[in-house]
A = this chain, B = another copy of it.
Amino acid sequence: MRQSPKILAFDIFGTVVDWHGSIVREMQALYPQVDGNAFALAWRAGYQPAMQRVRSGELGWVRIDDLNRMILDAMLPTFGLAHLSEAERQHLNRVWHRLDAWPDSVAGLLRLKTRYTLCTLSNGNIGLLTNMAKRVGLPWDCILSAEVFRAYKPDPATYLGVAKVFDVAPEQVMLCAAHHDDLAAARACGLQTAYIERPLEFGATQVKDVSPQAGNDFHARDVLQLAELLGC
């Protein structure tokens, strides 16, 4: 095992919070006539292509709040919701600020916080991540975001940016995420990596393969087990 990291940087959507379940619940409450599962999956499916338009330079810098809104506006007619008012659209778009944490996240992070500096490293914007953390009690020491680095993951500027912010070597930072592509990009920058299993990230109809892949320093069932593996 390598030297213990100093900074744990967490991916957020899917890793720490359950975007799928939270959006399904919100849709059931607000628009029960809509298939919440299909709606959540469609919204999320627009995410990477939207960020790609920023990465390619087509859009300039646009925050996730605004990308989510662009995707939402485009998909509402498909789900019979073209009539939603501006206020209703704004409220629905802010569901990404109101995502619930996976049941183990807060307890696991509180344990990890006793020995490590915990930050977010998410493509979500700073305000979104702060509102989300305050609502459910995620105990970050620092909110870092693509917005700080003006670049979206997997741009190396994001992973290396964490090391620069804390004035440490890349290998003293560990990215913790439920996505192998995110972890692979971090590893290519010299970061340590921990995979966190989230088999239900896309809901019960699309169970995710969470089998271990080579290259990660740690593979944990959830954040509580990660705390155990890291001696907390």
Is A146 an interface residue when CB atoms closer than 8 A count as contact?
no
Copies in the complex: 2
- Known A142-B143, A143-B142, A143-B143; contact A165-B134, beta-carbon cutoff 8 A: no
B-facing residues in A111-152 (Cβ within 8 Å):
117, 119, 125-127, 129-131, 133-134, 141-144, 147-148
On whether A141 and B148 interact (CB within 8 A), knowing A65-B167, A167-B65, the answer reads no
Could you say which of B117, B127, B141, B165 contacts A165, with CB atoms under 8 Å apart? B127
Q: How large is the interface on A (under 10, 10 to 19, 20 to 34, 35 or more residues)?
A: 20 to 34
A117 touches B142 (CB 8 A): no
Interface residues of A in 56-102 (CB under 8 A from B): 65
Where the two chains meet, the residues of A that have a C-beta atom closer than 8 Å to any C-beta of B are 65, 117, 119, 125-127, 129-131, 133-134, 141-144, 147-148, 165-167
